[in-house]
Amino acid sequence: MANPSLLILAGDGIGPEVMAEVKRIIGWMGAKRGIHFDVSEDLVGGAAYDVHGVPLSDATMAKAQAAFAVLLGAVGGPKYDKLDFSVKPERGLLRLRKEMDLFSNLRPAQCFDALADFSSLKRDVVAGLDIVIVRELTSGVYFGEPRGIFKEGNERVGINTQRYTESEIARVAKSAFELARKRGNKVCSMEKANVMESGILWRDVVQEVHDRDYPDVELSHMYADNGAMQLVRWPKQFDVIVTDNLFGDVLSDCAAMLTGSLGMLPSASLGAPMANGRPKALYEPVHGSAPDIAGTGRANPIACILSFAMALRYSFDQGDEATRIEKAVEKVLADGVRTADLMGPQDGTPVTTTQMGDAVLAALDASL
């Protein structure tokens, strides 16, 4: 049988630098674990604009639609800041998300013990934290109509519309319950059913999906404002949080800071199942192209490496190998290996991007 396909879009800035370390790990999986992928590489963002005049060509889009999974580095940079909005690097990423209909955005917030002192919260609140926020990504107030700035009497009025259909809520709820079954089997759904009709519908539909198809998963409901408070009070009470586009945007950034550094945060965006039964999927670090450090060897590759681990788990049915990578990262951090973003000014000499990759590979070797 052919190997599953993996499309790599390294992008701009530190994207190619962190992706280089992931490619070494992909090579390691083939050589040491006999897990092979049909890897192809293409351009996205500014890199694609430089060659094709658009941030994502139709041919690349078609490849992404056909791939088992897409792994993206980062897009953007000052060189492209003055471009027309329609061809800005970020439009390439938005096109991927939109045309692949990636409605379920998974943002894990995992705090490795060795980095607990990096969080702005107390060590015992965050050490060992492992939660995932599932954010609805393709509907809600960012897309609802009517929207715009209108004239009303003597003044202007800004309007956005929070709109969710039952099926949009049901599919993201399902994705959260499926995820919970692979983890701690607990889902907390967050909305504002106390003041929003869309919140009442959200709560009803999540409960219906649960009762019909996932009665084995523990489900609770929480108002999103209380959820924000609980996230910083005692985040370990959660396993999977499912919420809408707007609340998810805010809550996932809040959860991200529990873990310390942007350089550590992976993400997955999943769509409907393909013919092979796996969801359409795009994996990417949460961070951007970090133009301030691009080309200096200071980028932390861990967020991108952990994004590949997510691909192994959710697209390639290789959960054990995903755990192997996560444990290797944990060991490297416990051994005190640090890129600059994980150090204070007095903490000694940081390792480079490549040296961090070396350390993870050595830890993978040691795991055999």
Among 69, 303, 329, 359, binds ligand NAD (CB under 6 A): 303
Among 6, 67, 133, 290, binds ligand NAD (CB under 6 A): 290
Q: Is 114 in the site for ligand NAD (CB under 6 A)?
A: no
Number of residues forming the site for ligand NAD (CB under 6 A): 22
Could you tell me the two tokens for 258? 């529990």
Phi, psi of 186 (to 5 degrees): -130, 130
Q: Is 93 in the site for ligand NAD (CB under 6 A)?
A: yes
d(CA 147, CA 160): 4
Q: Is 241 in the site for ligand NAD (CB under 6 A)?
A: no
Q: Is 297 in the site for ligand NAD (CB under 6 A)?
A: no
Q: Is 268 in the site for ligand NAD (CB under 6 A)?
A: no
Q: Is 130 in the site for ligand NAD (CB under 6 A)?
A: no
Number of neighbours of residue 170 by Cβ within 10 angstroms: 16
- In sequence order, the β-bridge partners of residue 273 are 279
HEC assignment per residue over 112-162: CHHHHHHCCCCHHHHCCCEEEEEEECCCHHHCEEEEEEEEECCEEEEEEEC
The alpha carbon of residue 263 and the mean position of all alpha carbons in its chain are separated, in whole angstroms, by 12
Active-site annotation holder among 225, 320, 335, 365: 225
Q: Is 317 in the site for ligand NAD (CB under 6 A)?
A: no
> Which of helix, strand or coil describes residue 183?
coil
CA dihedral of residues 225, 244, 319, 298 (deg, nearest 10): -70
**249 catalytic, yes or no?**
yes
Q: Is 55 in the site for ligand NAD (CB under 6 A)?
A: no
Could you tell me the two tokens for 255? 């959860």
Q: How far is the CB of 362 from ligand NAD (least distance, A)?
A: 20
Would you give the binding string for ligand NAD spanning residues 321-350, x where CB under 6 A is met?
--------------------x---------
**81 catalytic, yes or no?**
no
Report the catalytic residues: 142, 192, 225, 249, 253
Which residues of the chain form contacts with ligand NAD (CB under 6 A)?
Answer: 14, 18, 74-77, 90, 93, 262-263, 284, 287-293, 299-300, 303, 341
